[in-house]
Amino acid sequence: MLKETYTLNNGVAIPKFGLGTWFIDDDKIADAVREAVKIGYRHIDTAQAYGNERGVGEGVRTCGIPREELFVVSKVAAEHKTYEEAKAGIDGTLEKMGLDYLDMMIIHSPQPWVKVNQSDDRYVEGNRAAWRALEEAYKEGKLKAIGISNFQIGDIESLMETAEIKPMVNQILLHISNTPIELVDYCQKNDILVEAYSPIAHGEILNQPEIKAMADKYGVTVPQLCIRYTIQLGTISLPKTANPEHMKSNTEVDFEISAEDMEALKNFKKIESYGASSGFPVYGGRI
């Protein structure tokens, strides 16, 4: 699994499997990156909002393998809705991480986080301005690929009205009990690769006995079933962990979920709560 890749719409190869780093502290993430690379990970995902770009950069620089063998991603802050803000943010990320280029950078959200789930304003012009900064950095070679995150179909269509370059990915919340099939289908039909963040539902899917029973049927763990599910949907899976044992276990997904079970998982009841993390906008909360 760790050696398998997709090809982005600009011809760049991207590993199917990556390490998510949300909630891993800056002073701990370098060790986590080094451990992940030792296991075989080659795709590392961070964001300006995570507050750990410096540590991720340190891990990338000191992991012992050539830079070009890694696929390193960060995200433009959701609040950066002008060309100037986004441009400064891109350059700031490269400086903070101590890297000459990123393999990909994406807009973190079509709306600033304080407006998510609270406003109908989709910041059309702000996203176009931020996208222009990404396009420029891409043309300059600072970024090997560019994309978006948490964009709905309307957001993508608005962006594409003025974009010179089509987004290469859309990173979205996608897991068993939350599978936005219409959005996934739209992206795939338009050659925009979907990335699944929180593929294990921020841990809350572990509390579903029906999912545990299906995992037992395949002789795998619940996280392995969840990750395999996102892979079989044709998406990139980005589970987050700083635990080397979990990192390794998460990659052991060389099994096939039957078509019947995939349909059942696509239509699995929506989980009622993301627990203590329910307040985060990506899980339906408000800041």
The closest of 171, 157, 130, 159 to 282, measured between CA atoms, is: 171
Q: Which residue, 100, 56, 61, is CA-closest to 74?
A: 56
Q: How far apart are CA 284 and CA 282, in angstroms?
A: 6
Task: Write out the DSSP string of 3-54.
Answer: T-EEE-TTS-EEESB-EE-TT--HHHHHHHHHHHHHHT--EEE--GGGT-HH
* Catalytic choice (6, 41, 50, 274): 50
CA distance 197 to 260: 24
CB 27 within 8 A of CB 54: no
Strands (E), the chain: 5-7, 13-15, 19-20, 43-45, 71-76, 104-107, 146-149, 169-173, 193-197, 236-238
- Who contacts 120 (Cβ-Cβ below 8 Å, separation ≥6)? none
Among this protein's residues, is 101 annotated catalytic? no
Backbone angles phi, psi at 19, to 5 degrees: -100, 115
Structure tokens at 245: 């044992």
d(CA 234, CA 184): 9
Instruction: List the catalytic residues.
Output: 50
